[in-house]
Amino acid sequence: MDCEIGILGGMGPEATLDLYRHIINLTPATRDQDHLRVSIYSNPKIPDRTLAIADGGESPLAALVESAKRLEAAGADIIAMPCNAAHHYLAEMRRTVGIPILDMIAETCAALRRRFPEVGAAGLMASDGTTHSGIYHRALEAEGIAVVLPVAEDQAFIQSAIAEVKAGLHTEATRLRLLATGERLVRSGAQAVILGCTELPLIFTPADARPLPYPVLNSTRILAEAAVAWVQAHSRLR
């Protein structure tokens, strides 16, 4: 029997849907039976990760572990968690969950190094929680890549844009300002831009990224690639 992907979602629901859409699109299939088995547990009640990391709010760790264990009990063989900030708790989750949990941050940084080996500095567009946690800083620096952060005004906009996506309120003006934020990161020395929040690709679409004069890394799609590759490799071993 093929391996099964468990998606630990709800952070937010649209980002969860986006990950599943990427998994479907990345799977070579001509009929229903060719697709991968996927269990989705969408738990939007998980406490806010940014509030916990940056502002001393309620920790989401217990809810993350409980959600992961639900997927494990349901038969998932691997967990993909489409929330960058939640990976601040990844090491603690792995200590108590019995199946592998993919590392979205490590996968994104490795993809950047693999696809663009000449890049020495990357811009990071992410939530305040992800930025404050330093999870991308540590992973990028391990690859020899410096981090370029937005100025305070742009970071405040990114946080508000994430909130707009979660509320279903983002507009064309949001999209255009997000693109301009990426351009300012490039002018500050970034040779590539990481969309380090799973809400941002819902604004900054692939069609938008193609004409830009710098590479863009979609962390949601990269997580989907890693999940599909893991299942394909491990299903062959069964």
| 195's tokens | 């969309």
Q: 44 and 111: one domain? A: no
pLDDT tens-digit profile, the chain (238 residues): 689 999 999 999 999 999 999 999 999 999 999 999 999 999 999 999 999 999 999 999 999 999 999 999 999 999 999 999 999 999 999 999 999 999 999 999 999 999 999 999 999 999 999 999 999 999 999 999 999 999 999 999 999 999 999 999 998 899 889 999 999 999 999 999 999 999 999 997 655 445 666 789 999 999 999 999 999 999 865 5
Q: Indicate the burial class of 195 (C-beta count within 10 angstroms; 0-12, 13-18, 19 or more).
A: buried
Q: What is residue 150's DSSP assignment?
A: P
pTM for the model stands at 0.95
Which tens digit of pLDDT belongs to each residue from 89-134? 999 999 999 999 999 999 999 999 999 999 999 999 999 999 999 9
Residue 85 belongs to a domain with what CATH number? 3.40.50.1860
Q: 114 and 85: one domain? A: no
Q: 59 and 147: one domain? A: no
Q: 43 and 65: one domain? A: yes
| 80's tokens | 């993909």
Q: Just list the catalytic residues.
A: 83, 197
Query: d(Cα 119, Cα 132) in Å, to the nearest integer?
Result: 23
| 226's tokens | 């890693």
Q: 90 and 151: one domain? A: no
Determine the structural domain holding residue 36 and report its residue range: 4-103+222-236
Domain count, the chain: 2
Q: 73 and 175: one domain? A: no
Q: 177 and 231: one domain? A: no
Q: 13 and 92: one domain? A: yes
Residues facing 192 on adjacent strands:
122
Q: 87 and 69: one domain? A: yes
Which tens digit of pLDDT belongs to each residue from 57-74? 999 999 999 999 999 999
Q: 68 and 44: one domain? A: yes
Q: 113 and 183: one domain? A: yes
| Element containing residue 147 per DSSP (H, E) | strand 146-148
Q: Does residue 78 contact residue 86 with C-beta atoms inside 8 Å?
A: no
Q: 208 and 129: one domain? A: yes
Q: In what order do the strands lie in the sheet with 4-9?
A: 37-42, 4-9, 78-80
Task: Give me the pLDDT at residue 208, please.
Answer: 45
> Alpha carbon of 186 to those of 81, 89, 139, 154, 176: distances in Å?
29, 30, 20, 13, 16
Residue 221: which residues within 8 A CB-CB, separation 6 or more? 22, 201
Task: Give me the pLDDT at residue 237, please.
Answer: 56
Residue in the block written with tokens 């742009």: 154
Residues facing 121 on adjacent strands:
146
